[in-house]
Amino acid sequence: MSSLNVFFAGVGGQGIITGASIIARASIAAGLNAVMSEVHGMAQRGGSVVCELRLGDVRSPMIPDGEADLIIGFEPVEAVRCLTKANHGTVIITEVRPIIPVSVSLGGTPYPAVDDLLAYLRSQVAAVYAVPAAAMAEDIGLPQAANVVLLGAAMGTGLIPLELETIRQTLSRTVPAEALDANLRALQKGFDVSRRSP
């Protein structure tokens, strides 16, 4: 691997920066070069948040348009919004539960059907993994771990050149001790989802 470009997109409060940081820290622990940037936007008001993470033989954290190898969408519309970073070989992992913007709630443009969003994504890239991360995290008993479910799904694709154990070790150094077991289960559930065909 000369380099790997991973683009994260979602809205404020979903743990996007934490998820990207875990992969970056695990990569550095494994001896890989990792550079990362983040854009918060109006994160505290549910606005868009993106992170760009590049691994390997790279210097700049910015992913050129059309050069993302993997996109992790924490919200379906946000996954569509960042398609300018994708190409026909890109793999997308996306949460399927929408977060309805205030503008839609106030009677603006209606939120598109999630099935239509997924169909459009599939028409643009190599593969799309639709992951019910929020529901899976709720089943575990830790709704905040939806980001770790998506992280596990990213690992399950085999695109990220790390062992799952390296991510587990990084989680153990990152999350509070009382939440570690739930986060490890979230990681494994996400990993198992994407080991199956998209």
Q: How far is CA 47 from CA 9, 13, 66, 102, in A?
A: 11, 9, 23, 10
| Residue 1 Cα to chain centre, angstroms | 21
Domain extent for 58: 3-195
Q: What's the whole-number mean pLDDT along residues 135-143?
A: 97
**Given this model, what pLDDT does residue 41 score?**
59
Contact indicator for 181, 142 with CB cutoff of 8 Å: no
What does the alpha-carbon distance between residue 187 and residue 168 come to, in Å, rounded to a whole number?
8
**CATH at residue 102:** 3.40.920.10
Residues with Cβ within 8 Å of 178's Cβ and at least 6 positions away in sequence, in order, are: none
- Identity of the residue numbered 197: S
More confident call, 47 vs 111? 111
Contact indicator for 171, 134 with CB cutoff of 8 Å: no
Q: What is the pLDDT of residues 89-123, one digit of tens each?
A: 999 999 999 998 765 656 678 889 999 999 999 99
What does the alpha-carbon distance between residue 47 and residue 15 come to, in Å, rounded to a whole number?
13
With cut-offs at 50, 70 and 90, classify the pLDDT of residue 180. very high
53 bridge partner residues: 6, 36
Candidate from 29-33, 72-76, 108-112, 185-189 with smallest mean pLDDT: 108-112
Q: What's the whole-number mean pLDDT along residues 164-183?
A: 96
What does the alpha-carbon distance between residue 81 and residue 151 come to, in Å, rounded to a whole number?
20
**Given this model, what pLDDT does residue 40 score?**
63
8 bridge partner residues: 51, 72
pTM: 0.93
As for how many domains the chain has, the answer is 1
Is the pLDDT at 183 greater than 90? The verdict is yes
Is the pLDDT at 154 greater than 60? The verdict is yes
Q: Which residue has the tokens 């529901």?
A: 135
- Quote the radius of gyration of the chain (alpha carbons, Å): 16
DSSP state of 68: -
- Closest to 82 measured CA to CA, from 157, 5, 7, 151: 7
Contact indicator for 99, 11 with CB cutoff of 8 Å: yes
